[in-house]
Amino acid sequence: MDNGLSRRRFLTRGMALGCSLAASPLVTPVSLAATAGENRLVVIVLRGGLDGLDLLRPWGDAGFAALRPNLAADRPDDLMLNDMHGLHPALSPLVPMWRAGELGFVQAVSTPYRDKRSHFDGQDILEAGTPGLGQGGARDGWLNRLLQGMDGVDARTAYAIGIDPMLLSRGAAPVSSWTPEVDMVLSAPGLALMQGMYEGDPDMAAALREAVVLAESDGDAAIFEAADGEMMQALADDTQPAGARAGKRHVQVAEFAARQLAADARIACFSIGGWDSHRKQRNTLNGPMRSLADTLTALRDGLGAVNWGRTTVVAVTEFGRTVRENGTQGTDHGTGGMMLLAGGALRGGTVHGQWPGLDEADLYQRRDLMPMDDVRRWAGWAIRSSFGIDKGYLERVVFPGMTLGGDPGLLL
């Protein structure tokens, strides 16, 4: 099927009937997937180059405060996780999760990307899961290659959620998509009319069916018996300006993902942006940090105790930031960073990985945190421990060029 042509036809026919059909996966990119088994995996891409040294602050290293006289001006004792590390203040809601063993970190990790420090290239390598950028042609993402090696994958197995295009989920395996920005509002007679229009077009009929399912999967009514006041109110709510809904977008995404994972889906991916912090970082990162805390809390609450106990969350970013703060009280693009882990399936309350130190001689190019391990290896073990995927398949196909090594014991 020509997705570009079908999308144009789908939108043209839908708009002719005066209704919004943007809930179709042909139009909007969250990613979710349904597979055999009860374990769940959520992958969150933190776009913009998260400063891992701000999220997980290495207070136990004397160089930290010296290199960041403004960003490391205080040390809240109630946010200390151990003798070495403390959380960013905006992540204080996650302290109970840490104490419950449902939150963890891997320090000093990176993708194989080095030196150029481009957001676009860094994110492509992160989501492709490859040692470098592909040479022409379409690229697929490591999550999609994972799905191709799993049993029981269908169109509900994986969802890409949100408005960001997710290379992570692109590829041959079926992936459904949803975003809180758009929805479908349609009367039952209108739906019957559209079904009649598409009776001779199997592709468009299938797209319409999936659009209805996705539109109703966020808990709001999509199909109304008649074009009455209730339907008109739903249509008005659906077409309000995007800015009116933007404040809770990350929570809507997390709640939608939780509902699907509590049902048939087993894998979800989405992104949280806003992590680029060149200036006034103390203010810049407060919002994204709160969004991350809200997201993890909404996932936990939406899944419920039993399903959360079978869930692993992996949050990754394209690269870290410079160790020294810059002249505008921010940090610039760096190399070594960190990844966040969460979930009831996690053996949490632990900071994994090797600490390289902050002495100038220990830094990468005398400016960045030295990467001590490959972020793909830890993601690979989260996958293997969740789904039992063969090590060889992970090393050859999902993360080509990566050596999985010994089991770090991430999950219970």
The DSSP result for 344-402, as a single string, is: TTB--SEEES-----SGGGSBTTTBPPP-EEHHHHHHHHHHHHH---HHHIIIIISTT-
In a domain, 130, yes or no: yes
14 pLDDT above the threshold of 60: no
Q: Tell me the two tokens of residue 397.
A: 């196909």
d(CA 142, CA 158): 13
Q: Write out the H or E segment, with its range, that includes residue 314.
A: strand 311-317
In a domain, 236, yes or no: no
The pLDDT value recorded for residue 244 is 43
Residue-wise pLDDT for 325-341, tens only, equals 999 999 999 999 999 99
For the chain, how many structural domains are there in total? 1
> pTM for this structure?
0.80
In a domain, 333, yes or no: yes
301 pLDDT above the threshold of 60: yes
In a domain, 69, yes or no: yes
CATH number at residue 309: 3.40.720
In a domain, 1, yes or no: no
In a domain, 406, yes or no: no
Most confident by average pLDDT, 8-22, 121-135, 158-172? 121-135
In a domain, 292, yes or no: yes
* Residue-number span of the structural domain to which 270 is assigned: 29-183+247-398
Give the mean model confidence (pLDDT) for residues 21-35: 43
Asked whether the CA dihedral 119, 124, 129, 135 is positive or negative, the reply is negative
Residue carrying the six token digits 């199909």: 223
The alpha carbon of residue 237 and the mean position of all alpha carbons in its chain are separated, in whole angstroms, by 27
In a domain, 14, yes or no: no
Identify the DSSP state of 198: T
